[in-house]
């Protein structure tokens, strides 16, 4: 196994940094729940269960027969661990060559100085607010078009129809998106072009996201991030258009039928959804 922290490679002889057991926090995350005993009767109860944040501990050592190189690696590993609000991108290459990624924050770091400057033992503690470990083996994120359901039929080119003044148009069917992951995947939806009060519904869950009072022209790029609960318009914050009734939905495992509508017949009819499959533990 190899791990990168903001591009700094661990467990690689050429980088003179090695991992030591145990590596914790890559298994199932801790569970948040409520529980208690039943008053006046046998047994107890357990409430709904949710994954908590992921706590990661990485043990390792720096070793080199060149003291200058060892000291340089000691400084470099610490520079790879910035404070919040900066994040640490944790990339993992497992022994079966599958690759993963998660975003974490610095919690603690221990690497005491030793009499020998050739060897430095360290312990890194990180916390990932999102407990899912995302599969990056395929490289780029998965994507699919989401499109409005539009019936086919006649389109006339003149208000005084003649034999040669019409043409046929193909129907555009509603989108079905498959999430091959065993866990809910929260997508990013990008809609480029004219858009008025969009409503995007995942019929697999019945949840619906919308923007109210939203009307933008053909040059606009609207980005909805379901995981981070953000909406941007041409890179700027557009969260003010999100009504209290909006639901930030995710893709259920398997097929998800996505219904995309908007307030004007001249609006763009297609958007792009991107997501990564993920696992609760590897």
User: In order along the chain (282 residues), what is the average pLDDT of each group of 10 residues?
Assistant: 96 94 96 94 95 97 95 96 97 96 98 93 97 93 89 55 54 82 95 98 97 98 96 98 98 96 95 95 96
- What is the per-residue pLDDT for 140? 86
- What is the per-residue pLDDT for 161? 55
- 97: buried, middle or exposed (CB in 10 Å: 19+, 13-18, 0-12)? exposed
**Which has the closest alpha carbon to 281: 51, 49, 124?**
51
Instruction: Give the containing element (helix H, strand E) for 229.
Output: none
Distance CA 137, CA 98 (A): 5
| Domains of the chain from N-terminus onward | 2-34+45-135 (2.40.30.200), 142-279 (2.60.120.860)
Cα 109 → chain centroid: 26
- What is the per-residue pLDDT for 78? 97
> How would you label 139-169 residue by residue, b for 16+ Cβ within 10 Å and e otherwise?
eeebebebbbeeeeeeeeeeeeeeeeeeeee
Distance CA 82, CA 107 (A): 10
Q: How many Cα atoms within 13 Å fall on the side-chain side of residue 7?
A: 3
209 has which bridge partners? 200
């Amino acid at each position: 196994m190899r791990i990168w922290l903001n591009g700094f490679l661990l467990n690689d002889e050429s980088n003179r940094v090695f991992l030591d057991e145990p590596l914790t926090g890559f298994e199932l995350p801790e569970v948040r729940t409520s529980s208690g005993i039943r008053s006046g009767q046998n047994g107890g109860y357990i409430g709904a269960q949710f994954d908590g944040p992921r706590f990661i501990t990485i043990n390792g050592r720096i070793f080199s027969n060149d003291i200058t190189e060892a000291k340089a690696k000691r400084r470099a590993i610490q520079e790879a661990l910035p404070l919040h609000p900066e994040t640490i991108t944790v990339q993992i290459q497992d022994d079966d060559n599958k690759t993963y990624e998660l975003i974490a924050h610095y919690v603690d770091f221990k690497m005491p100085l030793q009499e020998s400057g050739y060897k430095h033992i360290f312990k890194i503690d990180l916390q990932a607010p999102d407990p899912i470990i995302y599969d990056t083996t395929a490289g780029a994120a998965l994507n699919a078009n989401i499109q409005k359901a539009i019936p086919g039929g006649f389109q006339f080119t003149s208000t005084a129809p003649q034999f040669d003044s019409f043409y046929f148009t193909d129907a555009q069917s509603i989108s079905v998106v498959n999430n091959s992951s065993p866990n809910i995947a929260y997508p990013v939806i990008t809609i480029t072009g004219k858009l008025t009060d969009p409503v995007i519904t995942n019929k697999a869950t019945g949840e619906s996201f919308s923007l109210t009072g939203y009307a933008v022209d053909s040059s606009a790029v609207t980005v909805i991030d379901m995981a981070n609960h953000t909406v941007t318009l041409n890179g700027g914050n557009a969260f003010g258009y999100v009504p209290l009734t909006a639901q930030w939905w995710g893709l259920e495992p398997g097929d998800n039928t996505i219904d995309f509508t908007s307030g004007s017949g001249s609006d763009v009819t297609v958007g792009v959804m991107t997501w990564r499959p993920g696992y609760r533990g590897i």
